[in-house]
Amino acid sequence: MTTQDPIRLFGLGLGPGNPDYMTVRARKVLESADRLVHFCKRGRRGNARTIADAIVGQNPEREIALAYPVTTEIPADHPDYAAALNPFYEEAAVRLLAEVETGRTLAVLCEGDPFFYGSFMHLWWRLKDRVPIEVVPAVTAMSGAWTRAGAPITWGDDVLTVVPGTLPEAELTRRLSGTDAAVVMKLGSHLPKVRAVLKSTGLFERAIYVERATMAEEKIVPLPDLPEDFDAPYFSLIIVPGQGRRV
């Protein structure tokens, strides 16, 4: 690989959901790539591929679906989780490299930004020294969430803490204690635990639940108004706006 080699592999950030928030660069690559690669559950289309529907229709000859062997069935910190996903990413990297070596251009579709809690990073890490890669940045889900909620997230010198809801309760408490503003990603079945932590750290009353920000199915609810038994999807989050300096 040399610096003169053409870019044939893209990590393509498509934004938080509404295709209107897609960058001009992302749209250009999306329309021109020979193959559209997307992660998904078995038998289903991936979220990122659904975002792209407004720009490019379905074409089986362009599609490469990478179906996860597991998703939420196994806790992420369990040894079996890594044991299942490591060979999956290894095989996916080999498959994409073979496509690139034929001269095809591939776009790996990513909801949000590719370098923010994205599955693409596992491919990038395996291929970055073997083939030129361009990562196209994008509006993150959390940015779309606080904007759609009308909730400026940081004021003045506010410190923002971003955590995955998958962390143990004690670690979530440690991370969120003393912060000015917060975003909790990857809720799903962890919502009751996150709710308890936000109460114990004094952030609960300011917290806002956001689901599918910018999309047609968008839901934005103050967390205190959300039913205790609410079943949150994995792709939902909570924002806690800061209350810092105003002038």
Cα–Cα dist 163/6, whole Å: 37
Q: Where in the chain is the domain with CATH 3.30.950.10?
A: 142-240
Helix (H, G, I), strand (E, B) or coil at 132: coil
Cα–Cα dist 153/155, whole Å: 7
pLDDT at 1: 55
Radius of gyration of the chain (CA): 19
pLDDT at 30: 97
Cα–Cα dist 164/171, whole Å: 10
pLDDT at 66: 96
Q: Contact at 8 Å (CB) between 188 and 232?
A: yes
Q: Which residues contact 159 (CB under 8 A, 6 or more apart)?
A: 179, 180, 181, 242
Question: Which residues of 20-179 form beta strands (DSSP E)?
Answer: 35-40, 63-67, 106-110, 133-136, 160-164
Question: Which DSSP string corresponds to 149-181?
Answer: TT-----TTPPEEEEETTS-HHHHHHHHTT-SE
Counting other chains too, the contacts that 207-211 makes at CB distance below 8 Å and 24 or more residues apart are: 207/238, 207/239, 207/240, 208/149, 208/151, 208/238, 208/239, 208/240, 208/241, 209/236, 209/237, 209/238, 210/145, 210/146, 210/148, 210/149, 210/236, 210/237, 210/238, 210/239, 211/235, 211/236
For 9-139, CATH gives 3.40.1010.10
pLDDT at 127: 98
What one-letter code names the amino acid at 1? M
| Order of strands, sheet of 160-164, starting from the edge strand that comes earlier in the sequence | 160-164, 181-185, 236-240, 208-211, 219-222
Question: Which residues in the chain show pLDDT less than 70?
Answer: 1-4, 71-79
How many residues are present in the chain? 247
Cα–Cα dist 34/154, whole Å: 41
Cα–Cα dist 80/88, whole Å: 13
Domain 142-240 has CATH 3.30.950.10: yes
Q: Where in the chain is the domain with CATH 3.40.1010.10?
A: 9-139
> φ, ψ for residue 124 (rounded to 5)?
-55, -45
